Amino acid sequence: MVTQWLEKEMRNFAKVILRAFTVALRQKANQPHLTGGQVQEFHKAIQCVCSMTDFYLITQYDSYTDKTISYMQEYLRRFYDTKDVFLRFWASKGAKKAAAEAHKNLLREQSQASISNLTMLEKAKMCQENNLECRELVDDILKEGTHYNFPKMHLISHYAEQILKFRALGQFSTEISECMHKGLKDAYHHSNKVNTTSQIITNHTRDHTFIMKDLTIKAWAEAKETGNLIHHFGKRAQVVPMYLKL
């Protein structure tokens, strides 16, 4: 299980998410034939994931034309139009609890309705209507107060105009700067998790010092082999001493 998504994990995930998601939807249904509502909802969910994947992949381009930028905007528009299919999964614990309670009460009311005088066809129709009513009730409760109004979801809407102003997005990747966090994270893991600030600084400084010493020794050895220790000033040669603190 991936506990922290980095650029490498995201690139690999984008290659398989659509196929894996489609198979997962089919297994989740766990029935030989899907209902019309399920087919419509699954199609919308697949279209949403497909649009987001296409948008993500096109942002990795090294160069753009007006055509590719229009493709990016179209993929994003499709994603925005279909993303509400996942809105119920952003519901809070309180909303989930309220939805479960409302579903339980509705089932109790439906079970009290008399069906003794109904035919088999009428019973099947009534059962289908009851299931639809339960589903709509739960969806309304889960989606109430839930939204996608957070910075990362809004930021992607500016990608196209940023490309027109500053060119390809790859040059603004944070992957390089995020790699610099690794040393601090490793230092934290080596601490006792109590008053970690001073321990992190000490551990990271020590590691950085040894790395710099290794680079200095390597540079000194290369300079000695190539004879670059002697610098000429006019007609007179002067040996420039190199000092190495061990």
**69 and 137 in one domain?**
no
For 176-199, what is the mean pLDDT?
82
Please tell me the predicted confidence (pLDDT) of residue 245. 46
Query: Is the residue at 61 inside a domain?
Result: yes
Is pLDDT of 2 > 80?
Answer: no
Are 64 and 113 members of one domain?
Answer: no
Q: How far apart are CA 45 and CA 84, in angstroms?
A: 9
pLDDT at 231 over 80: no
Question: What is d(CA 56, CA 68) in angstroms, rounded to the nearest whole number?
Answer: 13
Residues 72 and 1 in one domain: yes
Mean pLDDT, rounded, of the chain: 80
Q: Does 136 lie in the same domain as 52?
A: no
Coil, strand, or helix at residue 113?
Answer: coil
Number of domains the chain contains: 3
Does one domain contain both 158 and 47? yes
Q: Is the pLDDT reported for residue 179 higher than 80?
A: no
Q: Tell me: do 172 and 52 sit in the same domain.
A: yes
Give pLDDT, residue 233: 41
- Is residue 245 domain-resident? no
In a domain, 244, yes or no: no
Band (1; pLDDT cuts 50, 70, 90): low
User: Residue 243: pLDDT band by 50, 70, 90 thresholds?
Assistant: very low
Integer-rounded Cα radius of gyration of the chain: 31
pLDDT recorded at residue 77: 95
Query: In this structure, is residue 246 part of a structural domain?
Result: no
Flag whether 138 is in a domain.
Answer: yes
| Domain residue limits at 209 | 182-239
| Final residue belonging to a domain, choices 160, 179, 198 | 179
Q: Which residues contact 52 (CB under 8 A, 6 or more apart)?
A: 75, 79
Are 175 and 54 contained in the same domain?
yes
Say whether both 123 and 168 belong to one domain.
no
- pLDDT score for 31: 61
